[in-house]
Structure 1
C-alpha cells in the first residue's frame, strides 16, 4: 500500500506539472482529470474511500464538465472547428492514457491485495458530510456557488463575439 501511495503521488505531481505547462486548454484538461484521479487513489490508500469518491464525483466530474461547458461557449470561430479536429489525433491522448493506465494498475493491485491497512480508519457517513456542509458551513458553500456562477457569467461576457452595432443617431446621419 505504501508503494501505491508513492506511485499515485508521483502520477499526481507529474500530471499537475503537465496541466501547468500545456498551452492547449484541452490537453491541460486531460491531464487535470488524470491528476484528480491520482489524488483520489491517494485518498483511497490513506483509508478514506468516501473522500476518494467525492474527489472523482465533484472534481473529475462536475468541475471538468463546467470547464468543457465554458470552452464550448467561447469557441465560436471557424478556426476553433479546425483546431478541434486536430485534438482528435491519437498522439494527444498518449500521455494521459499512460498515466491513467498506471493508476488503473494501482487500483487493480489494491483490490486484489489481501493486506489489511495498519491504520485505524473511522467510517464517515454521507449523511454527516451533508449535515456538515449544509449546517455550519452553509454560508461557505453558498458563496462558492455564487463565485462559480459569477465566473461563468464573466467568462461569457468577456468571450462572446460582439456584433457590430451602429447607433441609431449614426444610422440617421448615414441615411441623409
Structure 2
C-alpha cells in the first residue's frame, strides 16, 4: 500500500466520521462545524487525487461561503437543542436499508467489472485558465443562474434578519 493510499483512506474515514457526526448532533452549530470539517476533508481528497482547483473551489464555496451562510441562519433562528431522546427505530431501519443498498451496489460494481479495469486511468490535467475558459464559454448560463440563486439566498437571509429584529424592537424599519 502506498503513502497516497494511506492518506486516501484516512481522509475518507474523516469525511465519513464528520458527516455522520453532522447528521446526528442535536445542537445545530455543532452540526454545521462538523459539516465544515467534512467539506475541508473533501477538499483535501480532491487535492490528493490531482484536482487542486476543485479542492480550492470546495474550500471557498462550501466551507467558506455556504457554511458561513448556514451559521448566520442558525444563529438568527436561535434554535434550542432538541430533547436528548434517541431516534425512533424505524429511522434506523430505513437508514440501514439505504446504506445496505449503497454497499451492495458498490460491491457489485467492484467485483463485476471486466479485466480492463486493472489498468490505471490516464491522468487528465487542465490549468485553471483552461477550466475557466471552458466553464464561461460553454456553461455561462448555468454560472449566471447559480450566481442569481446565491443573490436571492443572500437577500432572503437579510430579509429574515431584519424581520426578526423588527419584531424584537417593536419599531418599524423600512
Same structural fold, with TM-score higher than 0.5 when normalized by the shorter chain = yes
- 1:34 CA drift (Å): 0.7
Aligned to 1:97: none
Q: Which of the residues 38, 61, 64 maps onto 2:41?
A: 38
TM-score by length of 1: 0.58
| Larger RCO (CA under 8 A, 6+ residues apart) | 1
Gaps of 5+ in 1: 84-117, 167-176
Instruction: Confirm or deny: 8 A CA contact 1:70 1:152 kept in the other structure.
Output: no
Gaps of 5+ in 2: 81-119
- 1:67 CA drift (Å): 3.0
SS at match of 1:134: helix
Aligned to 1:126: 128
Distance 1:165 1:60, change over 3 A: closer
Distance 1:58 1:156, change over 3 A: closer
Taking the aligned partners of 1:154 and 1:120, their CA distance within structure 2 comes to: 45
**Residue correspondence of structure 1 range 120-159 to structure 2 within 5 A:** 120-159=122-161
- 1:28 CA drift (Å): 1.7
- 1:165 CA drift (Å): 7.2
Instruction: Confirm or deny: 8 A CA contact 1:8 1:38 kept in the other structure.
Output: yes
Distance 1:136 1:22, change over 3 A: same
SS at match of 2:55: helix
Query: Deviations along 1:116-139, whole A, 9 cap, x unmatched?
Result: xx7653332111121122221111
Taking the aligned partners of 1:50 and 1:2, their CA distance within structure 2 comes to: 21
Q: Is 1:24 the counterpart of 2:27 in the alignment?
A: yes
- 1:145 CA drift (Å): 1.6
Taking the aligned partners of 1:150 and 1:137, their CA distance within structure 2 comes to: 20
TM-score by length of 2: 0.59
Aligned to 1:8: 11
In angstroms, what is the RMSD of aligned CA positions?
2.8
Distance 1:41 1:143, change over 3 A: same
